[in-house]
Amino acid sequence: MDQVKVEVALPGRIEPDVLAFPVREDANGGFVDGAAILDERLNGRLRRLADSGELRGELGRTLVLHTDGDVNAHRIATAGIGRIEAVDADALRTAAAAVARATREVGGTVAWMLDDSLPLDSGDQARAVVEGLVLGSYRPGRWKTNERARRPIERIVLCAGAEQGLAEAAERAARVAGWVNWARDLANSPPNELTPEALAARAAETGVAALTAESLDPAQIDELGMGALAAVGRASANGPRLIVLRYEPPEPARAELTLGLVGKAITFDAGGISLKPALNMQDMKGDMAGGAGVLAGTAAVADLGLPIRIVAVVAAAENLVSGDSFRPGDILRAANGKTIEITNTDAEGRLVLADALWYARREGATHLLDLATLTGAMELALGDLYAGMFANDNAWRDEILRAAERSGDHAWPFPLHPRYRRYVDSTYADLKNSSDLKQASPALAAEFLREFAGEGPWAHIDMAGPGFLERSRGDYLTQRGGTGYGVRLIVELATQLSA
């Protein structure tokens, strides 16, 4: 994986291709102190542009100027961050991503002037800016044959004093953002290229020495009694895989804790016999975004060397139609012995997760978190910004919510309640995989999964909205397709648990 270089330096000691600075939305033009010095060297050009209304501080607004040698930068880029009272990490990510897009023909070295007057300390600013630049410069069209080669951002320089830990925080952010983009590449890959077997191969090729990877093939899945995963994948000529990553640090901070991460990876979802509508079915290549987030998040934790033990389990399959499809009315037996009546073959994600959750517990996970693009109803409820979360343990829920807010992979809690269990009651089997009541379908899915989560803390994140975008989100994620949701959350959660 390519890595953007990051460093900290004073503005006068570098000669970047682009020197960017934040502009606040206020009556004074919102210049930071360093920008006022730049304006003097530019003979007042910035102030004149501000007075004319061309240079403004609305969130995401940019203006790029050639300096003609007046300062030690080839170009100046202004980055609107909005009103000061509304500035947060997402605002800085959005501003930085806008600069990356505005200068995408330039690339090379991008420098950014940190601003002491903002309501974020320099470390949080550095992290947000680096993430915004790396994520904002992502290009999804690598399959285009006529795509003109552009120079990528090769180096990010944060203009600040030699504050302790600042360079390390920025370098860490760049590494994590690189893994986010790796997950985006997986989610954007066409399904004829990224089959379950190919996804397993990609998981084994992370290049992180501390990770071990294995993949269970259809015969091994059958031997373990994983009737749910096997049924979902059996209609395809590309058989299912259970992908397992293990990370064992030399000295875990908590010897009693093993973080279990479980991901849904339906590499293409036609819905099975309960066929999906044709319109936008091509986006169903992104139904493995949860699995991509788990794989990349685990790799990022191992790459950073965080002292926490992880077992990651990703259930990969294609949900297609053939003479061997599983059917509505079938009764499957999952690996934990419970029987499942199938009432909708397009409710397949919870089926593959059922066996994966069991396997993660069997492999020693003490605390479980699963990520899945699971229900359209969750996207209706929360849109493309927040994922919904269910948990069987309040302390575990709060730990994950704190990591979600800190990371920028936002999540919102939803309730579990024993009375929701009636939604998955079956006349013929232990439970069924969908309901015709048209009520609380995310809660139905969560209650279903709880039956397979085993003993101990467990949480389920339904990321149907923010996992794979149908259009620009209007912030630092403007590209259609995979977002890498979950990677930053996993890293932040692992950091908290190993502190």
Q: Is-catalytic flag, 276?
A: yes
Buried b (16+ CB within 10 A) or exposed e, 440-466: bbbbbbbbbbbbbbbeebbbbbbbbbb
- DSSP code of residue 282: G
Give the start-end residues of each E strand in 237-337. 241-247, 258-269, 309-319, 331-333
Buried b (16+ CB within 10 A) or exposed e, 1-38: eeebebebbebeebebbbbbbbbbbeeebbbbebbeeb
| Cα–Cα–Cα angle for 228, 231, 235, rounded to 5 degrees | 155
Residues 6 or more apart in contact with residue 61 via CB below 8 angstroms: 23, 78, 80, 98
**441-450 vs 349-362: helix crossing angle, rounded to 10:** 30
3/128 Cα distance (integer angstroms)? 17
Distances (CA, A) of 410 to 119, 317, 365: 20, 27, 24
Tokens 């090769």, residue? 154
Q: Which of 45, 47, 83, 276 is catalytic?
A: 276
Q: Which residue, 193, 195, 196, 214, is CA-closest to 204? A: 214
Do the beta carbons of residue 195 and residue 152 sit within 8 Å?
Answer: no
> Left, alpha or beta for 69 (phi > 0: left; psi -120 to 50: alpha)?
left
Element of type H or E holding 65 = strand 62-66
Residues 6 or more apart in contact with residue 473 via CB below 8 angstroms: 384, 385, 466, 483
Record the tokens describing residue 285, joined without a space. 């290549």
Q: Which residue, 269, 311, 263, 313, is CA-closest to 289? A: 263
Do the beta carbons of residue 365 and residue 311 sit within 8 Å?
Answer: yes
Do the beta carbons of residue 30 and residue 63 sit within 8 Å?
Answer: no
Do the beta carbons of residue 326 and residue 231 sit within 8 Å?
Answer: yes
Q: Which of 61, 246, 264, 350 is catalytic?
A: 350
382/375 Cα distance (integer angstroms)? 11
Q: Is-catalytic flag, 473?
A: no
3-class state of residue 332 by DSSP:
strand
Please give the positions annotated as active site. Answer: 276, 350
